[in-house]
Amino acid sequence: QSFAAAGHPVTLWARDPDRAAAIQGTRENAAYLPGIGLHPGIAVTADLAAIGGDLRLLAAPAQHLRAILQRLPPRPGPLLITAKGIETATGRFMDEIAAETRPEAAPVLLSGPSFAEEVARGLPTALTLACADAEAGAALARSLGHRTLRLYWTEDLRGVALGGALKNVLAIAAGIVTGRGLGENARAALVTRGLAEMMRLGAGLGGRPETLMGLSGLGDLLLTACSATSRNTSLGIALGQGRSLAEILGARRSVTEGVWTAAAAARLAAKAGIDAPVIDAVDAVLNRGAAIDTAVAGLLLRPAKREAQ
């Protein structure tokens, strides 16, 4: 929607031919963006090989990105990825998966505070675009940005990948705090200490602090962890209220990335010897059968420490 609004011809690919035909026929993506008319500059196809143009953007769940990239016809040029997560099976970040599967292309991450519905409705949004080649990144940001989409560029792929992946896990924690009725003080404390974990992981794994304090880190953490519109936060709220993970996921069509990233993030932190108690607590609740109250007590009973650590 946004790129079409910026004047670019856009072809939208949907994997299901019936869905592609329905979107083309009704000019609406009724399953994911009901009530929002498709921009007239967008064509729709179910044929991946038919996608032309010099820019490709993939908006697919993190755990499925590798399989889609493997099916993509090889072509040089920028490959934009919106997925926010870490591949559970390998611990790889999204740009690493792109580099492995499509070495002929240049991975570009587009990330930041951006509920899709608001972007599609043309509400003002600012994002970070990460590309190893700063000049190419700057050119993309200028070409894709417009009045309601402001793009900042960086070469820091790792920082952008890390911020986008971790904010989802931290949002689940924030949601649990809300759902458990622990109060807004506790939520603010948890989000702040979660940011400290993000910064420590950045320092250990190669993300720049200014990236993590920018749109794709702190910005997206603020949006996601403080809004029940977020799928990750709302999942946390439901868990905090006592519903089971299976029940919550069973009622959803859309992906809740933090559920799949929590274990990989906890493993990466442990392997690097980085203290990440909030991420570890989310992983324990989701994947290791920990009771929520036990996990919360574990966080509250940690020994006192200097804040800047």
Ligand X SMILES: NC(=O)C1=CN([C@@H]2O[C@H](COP(=O)(O)OP(=O)(O)OC[C@H]3O[C@@H](n4cnc5c(N)ncnc54)[C@H](OP(=O)(O)O)[C@@H]3O)[C@@H](O)[C@H]2O)C=CC1
Ligand Y SMILES: O=C(CO)COP(=O)(O)O
Residue 84 sits in the site that holds ligand X (CB under 6 A): yes
Per-position DSSP letters for 199-253, written without gaps between them:
HHHHHHHT--HHHHTSIIIIIHHHHHHT-TTSHHHHHHHHHHTT--HHHHHHT-S
Give the burial class of 243: count Cβ atoms within 10 A of its Cβ; 0-12 exposed, 13-18 middle, 19 or more buried: middle
From the list 62, 120, 215, 239, which residue makes contact with ligand X (rule: CB under 6 A)?
A: 62
Q: Output 197 or 220, the one with its CB closest to ligand Y.
A: 220
- Catalytic residues, by residue number, are 167
- Can you say whether the dihedral through the CA atoms of 18, 1, 122, 114 is positive or negative? positive
For residue 1, the partner it binds in ligand Y, ligand X, none, with Cβ less than 5 to 8 A by kind, is none
**What, of ligand Y, ligand X, none, does residue 83 touch, CB below 5 to 8 Å by kind?**
ligand X
| Binding partner of residue 224 among ligand Y, ligand X, none, CB cut-off 5 to 8 Å per kind | ligand Y
Residue 113 interacting entry, from ligand Y, ligand X, none, C-beta within 5 to 8 Å by type: ligand Y
d(Cα 53, Cα 299) in Å, to the nearest integer? 50
- Select from 230, 259, 264, 269 the one that contacts ligand Y (CB under 6 A): 230
User: What's the gap between Cα 277 and its chain centre?
Assistant: 21
**Using rule CB under 6 A, residue 202 touches ligand X:** no
**Considering the rule CB under 6 A, would residue 115 count as an interface residue with ligand X?**
yes
User: Could you say whether residue 223 binds ligand Y (CB under 6 A)?
Assistant: yes
Nearer to ligand Y, 87 or 257 (CB): 257
Residues annotated within the binding site for sn-glycerol 3-phosphate are 84, 112, 114, 167, 220, 230-232
* Inter-axis angle of helices 157-179 and 184-205, nearest 10: 160
Site for ligand Y in 193-222 (CB under 6 A): 220
CB 1 → ligand X: shortest distance, Å?
Answer: 12
220 binds, among ligand Y, ligand X, none (CB under 5 to 8 A by kind): ligand Y
Q: Are 103 and 74 in contact (CB under 8 A)?
A: no
The 10 Å Cβ neighbour count of residue 267 is: 16
Site for ligand Y in 164-193 (CB under 6 A): 168, 171
Does residue 114 interact with ligand Y by CB under 6 A?
yes
54-93 residues in contact with ligand Y (CB under 6 A) are 84
Residues 239-278, interacting with ligand Y (CB under 6 A): 257
DSSP state of 42: E
Q: Which of 182, 183, 186, 171 is nearest to 217 (CA)?
A: 171
68 binds ligand X (CB under 6 A): yes
Selected range binding ligand Y among 229-237, 241-249, 279-287, 292-300, rule: CB under 6 A: 229-237
Nearer to ligand Y, 44 or 219 (CB): 219
Closest to 93 in 3D by CA, of 37, 158, 42, 38: 158
Q: How far is the CB of 297 from ligand Y (least distance, A)?
A: 26
- Using CB under 6 A as the binding rule, the residues of this chain from 118 to 147 that contact ligand Y are none
Beta-carbon contacts of residue 258 (< 8 Å; ≥ 6 apart): 85, 168, 169, 170, 171, 172, 232, 235, 282
Q: Which segments of the chain does DSSP mark as H helices, in order? A: 2-5, 17-26, 65-71, 94-101, 116-120, 134-144, 157-179, 184-205, 209-212, 220-225, 231-240, 245-250, 257-271, 277-287, 292-300
Span interacting with ligand X, options 1-9, 36-44, 252-260, 290-298, rule CB under 6 A: 252-260
Q: Which residues bind ligand X (CB under 6 A)?
A: 15-16, 31-32, 59-62, 64, 68, 82-85, 114-116, 254-255, 257
